[in-house]
Structure 1
Amino acid sequence: MQNTIFTVGHSSHSWEHFRSLIEAPDVGVVLDVRSNPRSRLPHFHKHELRYRLNAVGISYLHLGDQLGGRPTGGAADYETMAAMAPFRDGIAKVLEIAGRCRPTLMCAEHDPLECHRCLLVARHLVEHHGAQVVHIQRDGQIEPHEDTEDRLLAKWGGGGDLFRTRAERLSAAYRLQARKLRVGK
């Protein structure tokens, strides 16, 4: 899985379980894409997380200012955010890092379909840069991004439309899912 970019949600995992999730695929750096790198679980606070990761030989970099899903002003509009210079700079960092080691994009939600790391960041990496993205599930299984997109299409009923391309159906499904997350939060 050379040049593969992983994603993972820390969810409510114990430190030991989270560590096992990222050590199994030999992740070299956790790229924290949370806008606010805090958690109700102390081991996922930015400084504690960095300390724990460094202690087991994994690097840590917070990219939430560039790739976070909650902008400081206004509602999260993923399509607008993806066109902004800070986002593009963050994507460039991810790609540069992926050329040197195995990164994982980390946020809080366990299901990638419920998180901007998939709906915004991974989508952009795949669609615009041809990156290979896979999602580490809470049970340790690895889900290729294409399979995640198949789940997205199934969720929004976009699988059976013969008059639109897969890319068109996915674009609509991404938009609907992002809208659902904005309304739900």
Structure 2
Amino acid sequence: MKIFTIGYEATTMAAFLSTLTAAGVEQVIDVRALPLSRRPGFSKTSLAASLSAAGIAYVHLKALGTPKAGRDAAKKADLATLEAVYAGQLELPEAQAQAARMLELAAERPSALLCYERDPRHCHRTLLLEAEAVGAEVVDLYC
């Protein structure tokens, strides 16, 4: 199975959509706990509408997002704390159910996990895939 990842930090909606389309992504799986953004067009409702207009499906899996303590650690580049907080999140039954759903969705059609951070090494989406998608081919997209 191949799973794409993408962050929208410092990009435009046009570049974001172009990158997804060029990679053949047919579905975006939003793994933000809070699907809100100060970047124009990247909050849940407007993002879903833009993706739909481009022929790309949108799914939000809130339980796969990072709790506040993890988001705060990520902002400080405290990766050890982010990893510890997120490991606890992934142990929750709802997160386990949504991780299984993520894998089902990704098996159905080419999918990209979405979060804010441009660099996947500083984002929980990498931790998520390392924990839940062992053996998957991960392709990080940049726009």
Partner of 1:122: 129
SS at match of 1:43: coil
SS at match of 1:8: strand
Q: Which has the higher contact order (CA 8 A, sep 6+)?
A: 2
Provide the C-alpha distance between the structure 2 equivalents of 1:99 and 1:33, rounded to a whole number of angstroms: 17
Provide the C-alpha distance between the structure 2 equivalents of 1:97 and 1:18, rounded to a whole number of angstroms: 21
Matched, 1:69 2:66: yes
Task: Return the offset for 1:108.
Answer: 0.4
Contact 1:54 1:60 in 2 (8 A): yes
Provide the C-alpha distance between the structure 2 equivalents of 1:89 and 1:131, rounded to a whole number of angstroms: 18
Matched, 1:83 2:88: no
Give the letter aligned to residue 130 of structure 2: R
Give the letter aligned to residue 47 of structure 1: T
Task: Return the offset for 1:6.
Answer: 0.6
Structure 1 residue ranges without an equivalent (≥5): 139-185
Provide the C-alpha distance between the structure 2 equivalents of 1:4 and 1:106, rounded to a whole number of angstroms: 15
**Count of equivalent residues:** 129
Task: Return the offset for 1:131.
Answer: 2.0
TM-score (norm 2): 0.84
Partner of 2:57: 59
Contact 1:125 1:131 in 2 (8 A): no
Contact 1:7 1:133 in 2 (8 A): yes
Task: Return the offset for 1:53.
Answer: 0.5
Give aligned-pair identity as a percent. Answer: 36
TM-score (norm 1): 0.66
Partner of 1:20: 18
Provide the C-alpha distance between the structure 2 equivalents of 1:79 and 1:43, rounded to a whole number of angstroms: 30
Matched, 1:107 2:104: no
Matched, 1:131 2:136: yes
Structure 2 residue ranges without an equivalent (≥5): 71-84
Query: Cα deviations across residues 89-123 of structure 1 (Å, max 9, x unaligned)?
Result: 1111111112210110000000001111112x111
Provide the C-alpha distance between the structure 2 equivalents of 1:8 and 1:68, rounded to a whole number of angstroms: 14
Give the letter aligned to residue 81 of structure 1: Q
Give the letter aligned to residue 102 of structure 2: V
SS at match of 2:6: strand
Contact 1:31 1:62 in 2 (8 A): yes
Give me the CA root mean square deviation.
1.4
Partner of 2:81: none
Partner of 1:4: 2
SS at match of 2:97: helix
